[in-house]
Protein backbone atom coordinates (compact mmCIF):
# COMPACT_ATOMS: atom_id res chain seq x y z
CA UNK A 1 0.00 0.00 0.00
CA UNK A 2 1.34 3.42 -0.93
CA UNK A 3 1.70 5.78 2.04
CA UNK A 4 2.09 9.53 2.25
CA UNK A 5 3.39 11.14 5.40
CA UNK A 6 0.34 12.03 7.48
CA UNK A 7 -0.43 13.37 10.95
CA UNK A 8 -3.46 13.32 13.24
CA UNK A 9 -3.94 14.52 16.79
CA UNK A 10 -2.41 17.22 18.97
CA UNK A 11 0.00 17.56 21.87
CA UNK A 12 -2.78 18.61 24.25
CA UNK A 13 -3.17 16.77 27.55
CA UNK A 14 -5.42 13.75 27.06
CA UNK A 15 -4.59 13.53 23.32
CA UNK A 16 -2.07 11.62 21.22
CA UNK A 17 -0.31 12.83 18.05
CA UNK A 18 0.18 10.12 15.45
CA UNK A 19 2.56 10.53 12.47
CA UNK A 20 2.51 7.79 9.85
CA UNK A 21 4.93 7.20 7.01
CA UNK A 22 5.87 4.17 4.91
CA UNK A 23 7.92 1.45 6.55
CA UNK A 24 8.80 -2.22 6.66
CA UNK A 25 6.51 -4.08 9.06
CA UNK A 26 4.97 -2.04 11.87
CA UNK A 27 7.53 0.11 13.65
CA UNK A 28 6.13 2.12 16.52
CA UNK A 29 8.18 4.83 18.17
CA UNK A 30 6.22 5.86 21.29
CA UNK A 31 6.88 8.77 23.60
CA UNK A 32 4.33 8.90 26.38
CA UNK A 33 3.82 10.72 29.66
CA UNK A 34 2.43 7.43 30.97
CA UNK A 35 4.92 5.10 29.23
CA UNK A 36 5.95 3.22 32.36
CA UNK A 37 2.43 2.16 33.17
CA UNK A 38 0.64 2.08 29.81
CA UNK A 39 3.32 1.92 27.08
CA UNK A 40 2.61 -1.68 26.10
CA UNK A 41 -1.17 -1.14 26.10
CA UNK A 42 -0.84 1.96 23.90
CA UNK A 43 1.39 0.14 21.39
CA UNK A 44 -1.08 -2.77 21.33
CA UNK A 45 -4.01 -0.43 20.56
CA UNK A 46 -2.04 1.28 17.74
CA UNK A 47 -1.03 -2.09 16.24
CA UNK A 48 -4.55 -3.51 16.51
CA UNK A 49 -6.11 -0.41 14.93
CA UNK A 50 -3.68 -0.40 11.97
CA UNK A 51 -4.10 -4.12 11.35
CA UNK A 52 -7.88 -3.65 11.49
CA UNK A 53 -7.45 -1.18 8.61
CA UNK A 54 -5.36 -3.66 6.68
CA UNK A 55 -2.07 -1.82 7.29
CA UNK A 56 0.82 -4.21 8.01
CA UNK A 57 3.71 -1.95 6.94
CA UNK A 58 4.13 1.54 8.37
CA UNK A 59 6.44 3.65 10.52
CA UNK A 60 4.46 5.27 13.33
CA UNK A 61 5.68 8.02 15.58
CA UNK A 62 3.33 8.55 18.52
CA UNK A 63 3.58 11.33 21.08
CA UNK A 64 1.08 10.57 23.82
CA UNK A 65 -0.18 12.86 26.57
CA UNK A 66 -2.28 10.37 28.46
CA UNK A 67 -4.93 9.62 25.79
CA UNK A 68 -7.59 6.99 26.41
CA UNK A 69 -7.87 3.98 24.06
CA UNK A 70 -10.87 5.47 22.19
CA UNK A 71 -8.83 8.61 21.43
CA UNK A 72 -5.82 6.55 20.32
CA UNK A 73 -8.00 4.51 17.91
CA UNK A 74 -9.56 7.68 16.48
CA UNK A 75 -6.21 9.43 15.93
CA UNK A 76 -4.56 6.33 14.42
CA UNK A 77 -7.51 5.81 12.09
CA UNK A 78 -7.50 9.48 10.99
CA UNK A 79 -3.74 9.42 10.35
CA UNK A 80 -4.04 6.15 8.41
CA UNK A 81 -6.83 7.51 6.22
CA UNK A 82 -4.77 10.62 5.46
CA UNK A 83 -1.69 8.52 4.71
CA UNK A 84 -3.40 6.03 2.41
CA UNK A 85 -6.13 8.25 0.94
CA UNK A 86 -8.51 5.37 1.59
CA UNK A 87 -11.64 6.55 3.42
CA UNK A 88 -12.81 3.99 5.97
CA UNK A 89 -15.81 5.97 7.23
CA UNK A 90 -18.02 5.76 4.06
CA UNK B 1 20.19 53.72 67.65
CA UNK B 2 23.51 52.45 68.97
CA UNK B 3 22.73 48.79 68.52
CA UNK B 4 22.02 47.07 65.27
CA UNK B 5 22.04 43.45 64.21
CA UNK B 6 22.43 44.31 60.52
CA UNK B 7 25.41 42.50 58.98
CA UNK B 8 26.34 40.94 55.66
CA UNK B 9 25.16 37.41 54.92
CA UNK B 10 28.72 36.12 55.21
CA UNK B 11 29.18 37.80 58.61
CA UNK B 12 25.81 36.47 59.81
CA UNK B 13 26.86 32.95 58.85
CA UNK B 14 30.22 33.35 60.55
CA UNK B 15 28.60 34.68 63.75
CA UNK B 16 26.08 31.83 63.78
CA UNK B 17 28.81 29.31 64.51
CA UNK B 18 27.53 27.08 61.71
CA UNK B 19 29.71 24.00 61.18
CA UNK B 20 29.80 21.19 58.64
CA UNK B 21 27.08 18.64 59.31
CA UNK B 22 24.70 21.06 61.04
CA UNK B 23 21.04 21.74 60.25
CA UNK B 24 19.89 24.93 58.52
CA UNK B 25 16.25 25.83 58.02
CA UNK B 26 14.03 27.90 55.71
CA UNK B 27 10.33 28.65 55.25
CA UNK B 28 8.43 28.55 51.97
CA UNK B 29 6.13 31.56 52.28
CA UNK B 30 7.60 33.07 49.09
CA UNK B 31 6.54 29.86 47.34
CA UNK B 32 7.60 29.65 43.66
CA UNK B 33 9.22 33.09 43.97
CA UNK B 34 11.58 32.22 46.86
CA UNK B 35 15.10 33.60 46.53
CA UNK B 36 16.35 33.00 50.08
CA UNK B 37 17.21 29.28 49.89
CA UNK B 38 19.30 29.60 46.73
CA UNK B 39 20.98 32.81 47.91
CA UNK B 40 22.01 31.37 51.28
CA UNK B 41 23.08 27.95 50.02
CA UNK B 42 25.16 29.57 47.23
CA UNK B 43 26.94 31.60 49.94
CA UNK B 44 27.43 28.53 52.16
CA UNK B 45 28.96 26.68 49.20
CA UNK B 46 31.25 29.64 48.48
CA UNK B 47 32.35 29.64 52.15
CA UNK B 48 33.24 25.95 51.88
CA UNK B 49 30.58 24.31 54.07
CA UNK B 50 29.90 20.59 53.54
CA UNK B 51 27.47 17.96 54.72
CA UNK B 52 24.66 20.31 55.74
CA UNK B 53 21.11 19.20 56.52
CA UNK B 54 18.61 21.51 54.81
CA UNK B 55 15.31 21.52 56.71
CA UNK B 56 12.76 23.61 54.80
CA UNK B 57 9.04 23.87 55.45
CA UNK B 58 8.73 23.07 51.73
CA UNK B 59 10.70 23.23 48.45
CA UNK B 60 9.52 23.83 44.90
CA UNK B 61 10.58 24.14 41.23
CA UNK B 62 12.63 27.25 41.95
CA UNK B 63 15.04 25.23 44.10
CA UNK B 64 16.52 23.22 41.21
CA UNK B 65 19.96 24.85 41.84
CA UNK B 66 20.18 22.70 44.99
CA UNK B 67 20.94 19.78 42.66
CA UNK B 68 24.44 21.23 42.12
CA UNK B 69 24.94 21.73 45.86
CA UNK B 70 23.90 18.14 46.55
CA UNK B 71 26.34 16.85 43.88
CA UNK B 72 29.20 18.90 45.37
CA UNK B 73 28.45 17.75 48.92
CA UNK B 74 27.29 21.05 50.44
CA UNK B 75 23.85 19.59 51.15
CA UNK B 76 23.73 15.91 52.13
CA UNK B 77 20.32 15.68 53.79
CA UNK B 78 16.93 17.31 53.20
CA UNK B 79 13.80 17.51 55.34
CA UNK B 80 10.73 19.10 53.75
CA UNK B 81 6.98 18.87 53.27
CA UNK B 82 7.27 18.67 49.50
CA UNK B 83 9.47 18.59 46.41
CA UNK B 84 8.66 19.59 42.87
CA UNK B 85 10.25 20.04 39.49
CA UNK B 86 13.76 19.02 38.49
CA UNK B 87 15.02 18.65 42.09
CA UNK B 88 12.19 16.21 42.83
CA UNK B 89 12.87 14.33 39.60
CA UNK B 90 16.59 13.98 40.36
CA UNK B 91 15.92 12.86 43.94
CA UNK B 92 13.45 10.26 42.67
CA UNK B 93 16.28 9.02 40.44
CA UNK B 94 18.54 8.49 43.49
CA UNK B 95 20.49 11.78 43.50
CA UNK B 96 21.06 11.65 47.27
CA UNK B 97 22.70 9.05 49.50
CA UNK B 98 20.43 9.85 52.43
CA UNK B 99 16.67 9.70 51.96
CA UNK B 100 14.67 12.93 52.11
CA UNK B 101 12.50 13.09 55.25
CA UNK B 102 8.96 14.26 54.49
CA UNK B 103 6.73 15.66 57.22
CA UNK B 104 3.35 17.39 57.24
CA UNK B 105 3.22 21.02 58.34
CA UNK B 106 1.85 20.02 61.74
CA UNK B 107 4.34 17.14 61.94
CA UNK B 108 7.25 19.52 61.25
CA UNK B 109 6.03 21.89 63.96
CA UNK B 110 5.79 19.04 66.47
CA UNK B 111 9.20 17.67 65.49
CA UNK B 112 10.84 21.08 65.95
CA UNK B 113 9.11 21.63 69.31
CA UNK B 114 10.06 18.17 70.61
CA UNK B 115 13.67 18.50 69.48
CA UNK B 116 13.40 15.58 67.06
CA UNK B 117 14.15 18.11 64.32
CA UNK B 118 16.81 20.31 65.88
CA UNK B 119 17.66 23.45 63.91
CA UNK B 120 21.11 24.97 64.36
CA UNK B 121 20.68 28.04 62.17
CA UNK B 122 17.41 29.33 60.69
CA UNK B 123 17.53 31.69 57.70
CA UNK B 124 14.11 33.30 57.61
CA UNK B 125 13.04 35.57 54.78
CA UNK B 126 10.86 38.53 55.78
CA UNK B 127 9.04 41.23 53.83
CA UNK B 128 9.96 43.83 56.46
CA UNK B 129 12.34 43.88 59.42
CA UNK B 130 13.87 46.48 61.73
CA UNK B 131 17.53 46.65 62.74
CA UNK B 132 16.93 44.58 65.89
CA UNK B 133 15.09 41.79 64.11
CA UNK B 134 11.34 42.40 64.52
CA UNK B 135 10.17 40.77 61.30
CA UNK B 136 6.92 40.50 59.36
CA UNK B 137 5.54 39.19 56.07
CA UNK B 138 3.55 42.40 55.73
CA UNK B 139 4.61 45.60 53.95
CA UNK B 140 5.62 48.44 56.27
CA UNK B 141 7.04 51.05 53.89
CA UNK B 142 6.59 52.29 50.37
CA UNK B 143 9.77 50.37 49.51
CA UNK B 144 8.15 47.00 50.33
CA UNK B 145 8.95 44.55 47.53
CA UNK B 146 8.12 40.97 48.40
CA UNK B 147 4.92 40.54 50.36
CA UNK B 148 3.94 37.13 51.71
CA UNK B 149 1.50 37.86 54.56
CA UNK B 150 1.52 35.17 57.25
CA UNK B 151 4.91 33.82 58.39
CA UNK B 152 3.25 30.85 60.14
CA UNK B 153 5.69 28.18 58.90
CA UNK B 154 8.70 30.24 59.99
CA UNK B 155 7.55 30.71 63.59
CA UNK B 156 8.61 27.29 65.00
CA UNK B 157 12.06 27.88 63.48
CA UNK B 158 12.26 31.36 65.05
CA UNK B 159 11.20 29.96 68.42
CA UNK B 160 13.35 26.83 68.58
CA UNK B 161 16.42 27.31 66.36
CA UNK B 162 19.71 27.89 68.21
CA UNK B 163 20.50 30.85 66.00
CA UNK B 164 18.14 32.94 63.84
CA UNK B 165 19.11 35.09 60.85
CA UNK B 166 16.37 37.23 59.31
CA UNK B 167 16.90 37.97 55.63
CA UNK B 168 14.89 40.95 54.36
CA UNK B 169 14.64 43.27 51.37
CA UNK B 170 13.03 46.09 53.32
CA UNK B 171 14.84 47.33 56.43
CA UNK B 172 12.38 49.63 58.23
CA UNK B 173 12.59 51.92 61.25
CA UNK B 174 12.28 50.39 64.73
CA UNK B 175 9.79 49.18 65.90
CA UNK B 176 8.43 47.03 63.05
CA UNK B 177 5.13 46.20 64.72
CA UNK B 178 2.93 44.24 64.75
CA UNK B 179 5.70 41.68 64.36
CA UNK B 180 5.56 37.99 63.49
CA UNK B 181 9.11 37.16 64.56
CA UNK B 182 10.33 38.88 67.73
CA UNK B 183 13.66 40.67 67.88
CA UNK B 184 14.34 38.65 71.06
CA UNK B 185 14.55 35.49 68.92
CA UNK B 186 16.82 37.00 66.25
CA UNK B 187 20.63 37.15 66.27
CA UNK B 188 21.34 38.79 62.90
CA UNK B 189 19.55 40.77 60.20
CA UNK B 190 20.75 40.58 56.59
CA UNK B 191 19.53 43.02 53.95
CA UNK B 192 19.45 41.77 50.35
CA UNK B 193 18.08 43.13 47.05
CA UNK B 194 15.14 40.74 46.96
CA UNK B 195 13.86 37.86 49.08
CA UNK B 196 11.18 36.81 46.64
CA UNK B 197 9.65 37.40 43.24
CA UNK B 198 6.25 38.90 44.09
CA UNK B 199 4.69 37.82 40.81
CA UNK B 200 5.41 34.19 41.72
CA UNK B 201 4.45 34.44 45.39
CA UNK B 202 0.85 34.95 44.45
CA UNK B 203 -1.43 35.96 41.68
CA UNK B 204 -3.50 39.01 42.43
CA UNK B 205 -6.94 38.14 41.15
CA UNK B 206 -9.45 35.45 41.98
CA UNK B 207 -9.52 33.00 39.11
CA UNK B 208 -12.60 30.82 38.96
CA UNK B 209 -12.11 27.51 37.26
CA UNK B 210 -13.95 27.24 33.95
CA UNK B 211 -13.20 23.53 33.67
CA UNK B 212 -16.66 21.87 33.59
CA UNK B 213 -15.39 18.82 35.49
CA UNK B 214 -14.00 21.03 38.28
CA UNK B 215 -17.35 22.82 38.47
CA UNK B 216 -19.22 19.51 38.70
CA UNK B 217 -16.85 18.26 41.43
CA UNK B 218 -17.23 21.57 43.28
CA UNK B 219 -21.02 21.43 43.18
CA UNK B 220 -20.99 17.86 44.48
CA UNK B 221 -18.52 18.73 47.25
CA UNK B 222 -20.71 21.67 48.30
CA UNK B 223 -23.78 19.39 48.39
CA UNK B 224 -21.85 16.92 50.56
CA UNK B 225 -21.01 19.70 53.03
CA UNK B 226 -24.50 21.15 53.08
CA UNK B 227 -26.08 17.74 53.75
CA UNK B 228 -23.34 16.31 56.00
CA UNK B 229 -24.87 17.35 59.31
CA UNK B 230 -21.94 19.72 59.99
CA UNK B 231 -23.33 22.68 58.05
CA UNK B 232 -24.79 24.54 61.01
CA UNK B 233 -24.39 28.07 62.31
CA UNK B 234 -20.88 28.59 63.70
CA UNK B 235 -19.22 25.82 61.67
CA UNK B 236 -15.55 26.07 60.69
CA UNK B 237 -13.90 25.19 57.39
CA UNK B 238 -10.61 24.77 55.56
CA UNK B 239 -10.20 24.39 51.81
CA UNK B 240 -7.28 23.73 49.53
CA UNK B 241 -6.36 25.82 46.53
CA UNK B 242 -7.30 23.40 43.76
CA UNK B 243 -9.80 24.58 41.15
CA UNK B 244 -12.61 22.37 42.46
CA UNK B 245 -11.92 23.25 46.08
CA UNK B 246 -12.02 26.99 45.38
CA UNK B 247 -15.15 26.68 43.26
CA UNK B 248 -16.85 24.74 46.07
CA UNK B 249 -16.51 27.82 48.30
CA UNK B 250 -18.67 29.73 45.82
CA UNK B 251 -21.53 27.23 46.12
CA UNK B 252 -21.18 26.97 49.90
CA UNK B 253 -21.41 30.77 50.08
CA UNK B 254 -24.71 30.77 48.17
CA UNK B 255 -26.13 28.23 50.57
CA UNK B 256 -24.86 30.12 53.63
CA UNK B 257 -26.68 33.26 52.47
CA UNK B 258 -29.84 31.34 51.61
CA UNK B 259 -29.99 29.49 54.94
CA UNK B 260 -28.66 32.33 57.10
CA UNK B 261 -25.68 30.24 58.30
CA UNK B 262 -22.37 31.84 59.28
CA UNK B 263 -19.00 30.23 59.84
CA UNK B 264 -17.00 30.94 62.99
CA UNK B 265 -13.62 30.69 61.28
CA UNK B 266 -11.74 29.56 58.19
CA UNK B 267 -8.36 27.92 58.69
CA UNK B 268 -5.16 27.11 56.86
CA UNK B 269 -3.86 28.52 53.66
CA UNK B 270 -6.10 31.56 53.28
CA UNK B 271 -7.18 32.62 49.79
CA UNK B 272 -8.96 35.63 48.31
CA UNK B 273 -12.16 33.55 48.30
CA UNK B 274 -12.10 33.22 52.08
CA UNK B 275 -11.23 36.90 52.53
CA UNK B 276 -14.28 37.80 50.45
CA UNK B 277 -16.62 35.69 52.61
CA UNK B 278 -15.05 37.15 55.74
CA UNK B 279 -15.52 40.72 54.49
CA UNK B 280 -19.14 39.91 53.64
CA UNK B 281 -19.66 38.87 57.26
CA UNK B 282 -20.11 35.17 56.44
CA UNK B 283 -16.91 34.01 58.17
CA UNK B 284 -16.10 35.49 61.60
CA UNK B 285 -12.34 35.03 61.69
CA UNK B 286 -9.52 33.96 59.41
CA UNK B 287 -6.83 31.80 61.03
CA UNK B 288 -3.92 32.02 58.63
CA UNK B 289 -0.79 29.86 58.59
CA UNK B 290 -0.02 30.81 54.97
CA UNK B 291 -1.43 33.59 52.80
CA UNK B 292 -2.00 32.04 49.41
CA UNK B 293 -2.47 35.19 47.36
CA UNK B 294 -2.06 38.95 47.33
CA UNK B 295 -5.58 39.60 48.62
CA UNK B 296 -4.99 37.34 51.64
CA UNK B 297 -1.59 38.95 52.32
CA UNK B 298 -3.13 42.44 52.21
CA UNK B 299 -6.00 41.36 54.46
CA UNK B 300 -3.75 39.94 57.18
CA UNK B 301 -1.82 43.22 57.18
CA UNK B 302 -4.89 45.31 57.93
CA UNK B 303 -7.67 43.21 59.48
CA UNK B 304 -7.65 42.46 63.23
CA UNK B 305 -9.91 39.45 62.76
CA UNK B 306 -7.48 37.90 60.24
CA UNK B 307 -4.80 36.36 62.45
CA UNK B 308 -1.53 34.59 61.87
CA UNK B 309 -0.88 31.19 63.51
CA UNK B 310 2.35 29.21 63.65
CA UNK B 311 2.58 25.72 62.14
CA UNK B 312 2.40 24.38 65.70
CA UNK B 313 -0.72 26.38 66.57
CA UNK B 314 -2.18 25.35 63.22
CA UNK B 315 -1.77 21.61 63.11
CA UNK B 316 0.49 20.01 65.72
CA UNK B 317 -0.76 16.63 66.92
CA UNK B 318 1.24 17.07 70.15
CA UNK B 319 -0.49 20.31 71.12
CA UNK B 320 -4.14 19.90 72.05
CA UNK B 321 -4.68 23.60 71.49
CA UNK B 322 -3.76 23.49 67.81
CA UNK B 323 -6.47 24.85 65.51
CA UNK B 324 -7.15 21.61 63.60
CA UNK B 325 -8.75 20.27 66.79
CA UNK B 326 -11.47 22.92 66.45
CA UNK B 327 -11.96 22.34 62.72
CA UNK B 328 -15.30 20.95 61.50
CA UNK B 329 -14.92 20.57 57.74
CA UNK B 330 -11.91 20.29 55.44
CA UNK B 331 -11.93 19.94 51.65
CA UNK B 332 -8.74 18.34 50.33
CA UNK B 333 -7.39 17.18 47.00
CA UNK B 334 -5.50 13.98 46.14
CA UNK B 335 -3.19 12.51 43.52
CA UNK B 336 -4.52 9.08 44.46
CA UNK B 337 -7.10 7.62 46.85
CA UNK B 338 -7.29 3.87 47.35
CA UNK B 339 -10.09 1.48 48.22
CA UNK B 340 -9.15 1.75 51.92
CA UNK B 341 -9.51 5.57 51.69
CA UNK B 342 -5.73 6.06 52.04
CA UNK B 343 -4.52 9.17 50.21
CA UNK B 344 -1.32 10.04 48.34
CA UNK B 345 -0.54 13.69 47.63
CA UNK B 346 3.25 13.39 47.24
CA UNK B 347 4.35 10.84 44.65
CA UNK B 348 2.95 10.84 41.10
CA UNK B 349 1.53 7.74 39.50
CA UNK B 350 4.79 7.52 37.55
CA UNK B 351 6.62 7.02 40.86
CA UNK B 352 8.27 10.46 40.75
CA UNK B 353 7.90 12.88 43.65
CA UNK B 354 5.78 15.81 42.54
CA UNK B 355 3.90 17.34 45.42
CA UNK B 356 3.77 18.22 49.07
CA UNK B 357 2.19 16.71 52.14
CA UNK B 358 1.16 20.14 53.43
CA UNK B 359 -1.49 19.99 56.13
CA UNK B 360 -3.29 17.06 54.49
CA UNK B 361 -2.88 14.38 57.17
CA UNK B 362 -3.13 16.94 59.99
CA UNK B 363 -6.48 18.33 58.94
CA UNK B 364 -7.88 14.99 57.75
CA UNK B 365 -7.20 13.32 61.10
CA UNK B 366 -8.38 16.06 63.45
CA UNK B 367 -11.32 17.60 61.58
CA UNK B 368 -14.87 16.36 62.16
CA UNK B 369 -15.44 15.82 58.43
CA UNK B 370 -12.73 15.41 55.76
CA UNK B 371 -13.74 15.46 52.11
CA UNK B 372 -11.36 14.48 49.32
CA UNK B 373 -12.26 15.93 45.92
CA UNK B 374 -10.58 14.39 42.88
CA UNK B 375 -11.51 13.32 39.37
CA UNK B 376 -11.68 9.58 38.69
CA UNK B 377 -9.03 9.97 35.97
CA UNK B 378 -6.50 12.64 35.02
CA UNK B 379 -5.89 11.86 31.39
CA UNK B 380 -4.98 8.19 31.57
CA UNK B 381 -3.86 8.36 35.19
CA UNK B 382 -6.35 6.87 37.65
CA UNK B 383 -7.00 8.79 40.87
CA UNK B 384 -9.06 6.06 42.56
CA UNK B 385 -6.78 3.02 42.71
CA UNK B 386 -6.55 -0.36 44.46
CA UNK B 387 -3.52 0.79 46.48
CA UNK B 388 -1.84 4.20 46.73
CA UNK B 389 1.72 4.50 45.38
CA UNK B 390 2.79 6.19 48.64
CA UNK B 391 0.82 6.44 51.87
CA UNK B 392 0.50 10.02 53.13
CA UNK B 393 -2.88 10.29 54.83
CA UNK B 394 -4.20 7.06 56.35
CA UNK B 395 -7.80 6.19 55.45
CA UNK B 396 -8.74 6.25 59.13
CA UNK B 397 -8.89 10.06 58.85
CA UNK B 398 -10.67 10.29 55.49
CA UNK B 399 -14.47 10.42 55.49
CA UNK B 400 -15.80 11.18 52.00
CA UNK B 401 -14.35 10.95 48.47
CA UNK B 402 -16.10 13.02 45.79
CA UNK B 403 -15.56 12.09 42.12
CA UNK B 404 -17.54 12.89 38.99
CA UNK B 405 -18.64 9.22 38.90
CA UNK B 406 -20.03 9.10 42.41
CA UNK B 407 -19.40 9.83 46.07
CA UNK B 408 -17.82 7.21 48.34
CA UNK B 409 -18.23 7.37 52.11
CA UNK B 410 -15.83 5.62 54.48
CA UNK B 411 -17.67 2.67 56.09
CA UNK B 412 -16.57 4.12 59.45
CA UNK B 413 -19.08 6.94 58.88
CA UNK B 414 -22.40 5.22 58.06
CA UNK B 415 -24.38 8.18 59.46
CA UNK B 416 -22.85 10.47 56.84
CA UNK B 417 -23.58 7.98 54.06
CA UNK B 418 -27.23 7.92 55.24
CA UNK B 419 -27.53 11.72 55.24
CA UNK B 420 -26.06 11.99 51.74
CA UNK B 421 -28.32 9.24 50.38
CA UNK B 422 -31.34 10.97 51.90
CA UNK B 423 -30.33 14.14 50.06
CA UNK B 424 -30.35 12.17 46.81
CA UNK B 425 -26.59 12.23 46.27
CA UNK B 426 -25.00 9.38 44.28
CA UNK B 427 -23.34 7.43 47.11
CA UNK B 428 -21.34 4.52 45.77
CA UNK B 429 -18.81 1.93 46.96
CA UNK B 430 -15.22 3.10 46.55
CA UNK B 431 -14.31 -0.28 45.07
CA UNK B 432 -16.84 0.37 42.29
CA UNK B 433 -15.09 3.68 41.54
CA UNK B 434 -11.71 1.90 41.30
CA UNK B 435 -13.27 -0.74 39.04
CA UNK B 436 -14.80 1.98 36.85
CA UNK B 437 -11.37 3.57 36.41
CA UNK B 438 -9.83 0.23 35.45
CA UNK B 439 -12.63 -0.45 32.94
CA UNK B 440 -11.72 2.78 31.10
CA UNK B 441 -7.92 2.69 31.20
CA UNK B 442 -6.97 -0.95 31.70
CA UNK B 443 -4.63 -2.28 34.36
CA UNK B 444 -1.41 -0.26 34.59
CA UNK B 445 1.96 -2.04 34.48
CA UNK B 446 3.95 -2.02 37.73
CA UNK B 447 6.26 0.98 38.15
CA UNK B 448 10.00 0.41 37.71
CA UNK B 449 10.99 1.08 41.32
CA UNK B 450 14.59 0.33 42.37
CA UNK B 451 15.90 -0.81 45.75
CA UNK B 452 17.18 2.50 47.06
CA UNK B 453 15.07 4.42 49.56
CA UNK B 454 15.00 8.05 48.41
CA UNK B 455 12.31 9.34 50.75
CA UNK B 456 10.87 8.56 54.17
CA UNK B 457 7.36 9.71 54.98
CA UNK B 458 6.87 10.49 58.66
CA UNK B 459 3.36 10.56 60.05
CA UNK B 460 2.28 13.54 62.14
CA UNK B 461 3.01 11.65 65.35
CA UNK B 462 6.69 11.12 64.43
CA UNK B 463 6.55 7.51 63.20
CA UNK B 464 7.67 6.22 59.82
CA UNK B 465 4.57 5.82 57.67
CA UNK B 466 6.01 4.82 54.29
CA UNK B 467 9.21 4.71 52.23
CA UNK B 468 9.67 6.03 48.70
CA UNK B 469 12.02 4.06 46.45
CA UNK B 470 13.99 5.35 43.49
CA UNK B 471 12.54 5.06 40.02
CA UNK B 472 14.57 3.44 37.23
CA UNK B 473 14.09 4.49 33.60
Residues of A in contact with B380 (CB under 8 A): 14, 34, 38, 66-68
Range list of β-strands (E), B325-448: 329-332, 336-338, 343-344, 355-356, 369-373, 377-378, 381-382, 384-385, 400-403, 406-409, 427-428
Question: What angle, rounded to 10 degrees, do the helices at B294-302 and B272-279 form?
Answer: 40
Residue to test with chain B: of A14, A36, A66, A69, most B Cβ within 10 A:
A36
Per cent of chain B over pLDDT 70 is 99
In A68-87, the residues whose Cβ lies within 8 Å of chain B are 68-69
In B365-384, the residues whose Cβ lies within 8 Å of chain A are 377-381
Look at residue B210 in the predicted model and tell me its pLDDT. 83
- Cβ separation B441–A36 shorter than 8 A: no
Is residue A37 within 8 Å of B349, Cβ to Cβ? yes
Among B28-42, B237-251, B384-398, the range scoring the smallest mean pLDDT is B237-251
Average pLDDT over residues B383-411: 98
**B367: DSSP letter:** S
Look at residue B199 in the predicted model and tell me its pLDDT. 80
Task: For residue B381, give the chain A residue with the closest CA.
Answer: A66
Q: Å from A62 to nearest chain B CA?
A: 15
- Cβ separation A67–B380 shorter than 8 A: yes
Average pLDDT over residues B313-333: 97
The CA-atom distances, in angstroms, between A34 and each of A31, B89, B287, B378 are 9, 15, 40, 11
At residue A49, does pLDDT exceed 80?
yes
Look at residue B206 in the predicted model and tell me its pLDDT. 56
The DSSP secondary structure of B131-184, one letter per residue, reads TT--EESS--STT--------GGGHHHHHH-SEEEEEES-B-PSP--S-SB-GG
**Residue B207's pLDDT band (boundaries 50, 70, 90)?**
low
**Residue B241's pLDDT band (boundaries 50, 70, 90)?**
confident
**Residue B342's pLDDT band (boundaries 50, 70, 90)?**
very high
Look at residue B125 in the predicted model and tell me its pLDDT. 98
Look at residue A1 in the predicted model and tell me its pLDDT. 66
**Residue B245's pLDDT band (boundaries 50, 70, 90)?**
confident
At residue A26, does pLDDT exceed 60?
yes
- The secondary element (H helix, E strand) that includes residue B435 is helix B430-441
> Rounded distance, CA B147 to CA B141, Å?
11
Question: What angle, rounded to 10 degrees, do the helices at B243-259 and B212-226 form?
Answer: 40
Higher pLDDT, B359 or B211: B359
Is residue B101 within 8 Å of B456, Cβ to Cβ? yes
Average pLDDT over residues B322-350: 96
**Residue B202's pLDDT band (boundaries 50, 70, 90)?**
low
Is residue B347 within 8 Å of B468, Cβ to Cβ? yes
> pLDDT tens digits, residue range B13-24?
999 999 999 999
Largest CA distance in chain A: 37
At residue B273, does pLDDT exceed 80?
yes
At residue B425, does pLDDT exceed 80?
yes
Q: Å from A15 to nearest chain B CA?
A: 8
Q: Could you tell me which residues come within 8 angstroms of residue B227 by beta carbon, excluding any fewer than 6 positions away?
A: B419, B420, B422, B423, B425
- CA torsion angle for B202, B206, B208, B209 (degrees, to 10)? -10
Look at residue A83 in the predicted model and tell me its pLDDT. 95
**Other Cβ atoms closer than 10 A to A40:** 12
> Rounded distance, CA B217 to CA B426, Å?
12
**Residue B211's pLDDT band (boundaries 50, 70, 90)?**
confident
Q: Which of A36, A66, A68 sits opposite B445 (nearest CB)?
A: A36
At residue B3, does pLDDT exceed 90?
no
At residue B200, does pLDDT exceed 90?
no
- For chain B, the average pLDDT equals 96
Look at residue A68 in the predicted model and tell me its pLDDT. 96
What ipTM was assigned to the predicted interfaces of this complex?
0.88
**Residue B203's pLDDT band (boundaries 50, 70, 90)?**
low
Average pLDDT over residues A49-73: 96
- Cβ separation A66–B440 shorter than 8 A: no
Amino acid sequence: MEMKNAVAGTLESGDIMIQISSGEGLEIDLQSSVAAQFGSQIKAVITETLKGLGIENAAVKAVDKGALDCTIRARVTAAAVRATGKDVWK
Amino acid sequence: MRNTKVVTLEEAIRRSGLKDGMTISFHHHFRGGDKVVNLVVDKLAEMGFKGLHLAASSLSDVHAPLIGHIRNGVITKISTSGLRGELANEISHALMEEPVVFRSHGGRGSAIASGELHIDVAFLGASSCDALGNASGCPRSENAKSICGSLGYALPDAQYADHVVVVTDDLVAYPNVPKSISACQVESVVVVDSVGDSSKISSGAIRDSKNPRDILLAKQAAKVIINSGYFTDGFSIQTGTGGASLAAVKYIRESMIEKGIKASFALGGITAHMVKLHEEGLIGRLVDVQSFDKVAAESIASDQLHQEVSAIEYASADHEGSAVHALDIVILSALEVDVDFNVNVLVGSDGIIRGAIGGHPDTAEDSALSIIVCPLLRGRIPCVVPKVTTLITPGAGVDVVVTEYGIAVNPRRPEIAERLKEAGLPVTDIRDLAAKATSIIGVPDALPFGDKVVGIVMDRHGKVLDKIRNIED
